[in-house]
Amino acid sequence: MHKIKNVLIGITGSIAAFKIPELVRLFKKEKFNVKIIQTKSSLDFVSPLTLSVLSENKVLSSTITYEKTWNNHVSLSNWADIFIIAPLTANTLAKMANGQCDNLLLATYLSTKCKTYVAPAMDLDMFQHHTTKTNLLTIEKHGIKVIPAKFGELASGLIGDGRMAEPQEIFNITINKSNPKLKGKNVLITAGPTYENIDPVRFIGNRSSGKMGIEIAKICSDFGAKVNLILGPIAKQFEYDNVTIHKIESAKQMYDTAISLYSDSDILIFSAAVSDYSPEKTNELKLKKKDDFLNIKLKRTKDIILEISKRKNKDQFIVGFALETDNAIKNAKLKLHNKKLDMIILNSLEDKGAGFQKDTNKISIIDKNNNITKYKLKNKSEVAKDIIDNIIKLKYA
């Protein structure tokens, strides 16, 4: 049950405003009441008609009037359980930091007593300007939760920080942080690939991007947990509130780190694609190309999940992942029971858009009683939410 039901969204004049209909859709899908305030400049980027159809409420603005209707900023602030300003431009940010009140959105902001979130969106140079940084710090001191802007391609064509967080992430943060189902819990997650060095240049590895484990870490944090994320070598930089990142490269390093952290964990989620084999010997110098064939003797790496399952206490909940190319359900169940897991997530390689390096995934969840729940192809952030919801249902319901 959600602790909040009334969501007020404020939209300012950024190109990122075109994403807000999707945010409205996410809230309405979960049965929230949604009202929207638009600034005058935002009307150029997203239609009030579109937003009113999706929200099932008339859009409010200093420049939009409805016959026989008067919208009081005080009544709006009293109605809202949370207030989300997205996208937040540098201009509106500056006004918020200095207490200015020249439109309905700002008047409502100054009147509101509920939790307020902002999702900045601006070009790289504006975002990096010391004035912008100071203004963000100022509103944070006033209790505003800033949803960090992302690194990526911006409207100007520049690459860097300033991209508004995606609607799904805004939804996850605002709703889950208001409903901390894992508050006080410690979660251990492994993610990404491992690299087993052959020589200083070459290694045995796999195509794992770590995206699934990272999204799970975000959801756990949003739900109030403290997260230890053991992260293999990936290109993407990642930081998140209440997530401590332990960077590793090899299967042995991941094993050693997991063993050192597992005992304090309430929930353990092993999503990493760990190498099953490692070269028996790592060459100190680069191997030269000489013969038509190269023989490398491999040895088994330690099975992290199996070792921790042997040591776990009765209150710990362990989740594994399986990626199978044949007899998928049968093999996933074998892994579930042989390794004494509480739940296993079966990934699909057969469906387009699922698997390594994709932003979407299609999973089946199998619990230790062999109950199977199958899901359609979804964004990995949504998949992560499904996984955590199932863990909470099985362990804490």
Mean pLDDT of 227-238: 91
Mean pLDDT of 213-227: 93
CATH class entry, domain 186-396: alpha beta
Q: Where in the chain is the domain with CATH 3.40.50.10300?
A: 186-396
Number of other CB atoms surrounding residue 293 within 10 Å: 4
Phi, psi of 205 (to 5 degrees): -150, -165
Q: What is the pLDDT of residue 292?
A: 86
Q: What is the pLDDT of residue 294?
A: 86
More confident call, 65 vs 216: 216
Residues ≥6 apart with Cβ < 8 Å to 137 = none
DSSP bridge partners of 323? 347
Measured in whole angstroms, the distance separating CA 364 from the mean position of its chain's CA atoms is 20
Q: How far apart are CA 361 and CA 381, in angstroms?
A: 9
Q: What is the pLDDT of residue 348?
A: 76
Q: How far apart are CA 386 and CA 361, in angstroms?
A: 12
Closest C-alpha to 175, from 390, 386, 7, 397: 7
Judge whether residue 255 has pLDDT over 60.
Answer: yes
Are 81 and 89 within 8 A, CB to CB?
A: no
Closest C-alpha to 353, from 390, 387, 383, 326: 383
In DSSP notation, 19-45 reads GHHHHHHHHHHTT-EEEEEE-TGGGGT
Q: How far apart are CA 346 and CA 374, in angstroms?
A: 9
DSSP bridge partners of 245? 229
Token pair 């050693």 is found at: 256
What confidence tens digit (pLDDT) does each residue in 16-61 have? 999 999 999 999 998 999 999 999 999 999 999 999 999 999 999 8
What confidence tens digit (pLDDT) does each residue in 92-109 have? 999 999 999 999 999 999
Q: Residues 233-237: contacts with CB within 8 Å, 24+ apart? A: 233/192, 233/193, 233/194, 233/195, 233/205, 234/192, 234/193, 234/208, 234/209, 234/210, 236/209, 236/210, 236/211, 237/151
Judge whether residue 1 has pLDDT over 50.
Answer: no
Confidence of residue 65 (pLDDT cuts 50, 70, 90): low
Residues ≥6 apart with Cβ < 8 Å to 339 = 303, 305, 306, 309, 320
Q: How far apart are CA 279 and CA 282, in angstroms?
A: 6
Q: What's this model's pTM, rounded to 2 decimal places?
A: 0.71
Q: What is the pLDDT of residue 146?
A: 92
> Distance of CA 37 to CAs 59, 81, 106, 372, 379, Å?
6, 15, 10, 43, 28
Judge whether residue 81 has pLDDT over 90.
Answer: yes
| Tokens standing for residue 297 | 């003797």
The alpha carbon torsion through 391, 231, 258, 173 (nearest 10 deg) reads -30
Q: What is the pLDDT of residue 240?
A: 83
What confidence tens digit (pLDDT) does each residue in 126-168 have? 998 999 999 999 999 999 999 988 888 788 787 888 899 999 8
Judge whether residue 68 has pLDDT over 90.
Answer: no
| Tokens standing for residue 49 | 């008609």
Q: What is the pLDDT of residue 160?
A: 82
> Which homologous superfamily is 6-176 in?
Flavin prenyltransferase-like (3.40.50.1950)
Are 48 and 42 within 8 A, CB to CB?
A: no
Residues ≥6 apart with Cβ < 8 Å to 254 = 190, 194, 230, 232, 248, 272, 274, 304
What confidence tens digit (pLDDT) does each residue in 331-381 have? 999 999 999 999 999 997 777 777 777 888 999 999 999 999 999 998 888
HSE, CB side, 13 Å, CA atoms: give it for residue 127.
Answer: 21
Are 256 and 213 within 8 A, CB to CB?
A: no
Judge whether residue 67 has pLDDT over 70.
Answer: no
Q: Where in the chain is the domain with CATH 3.40.50.1950?
A: 6-176
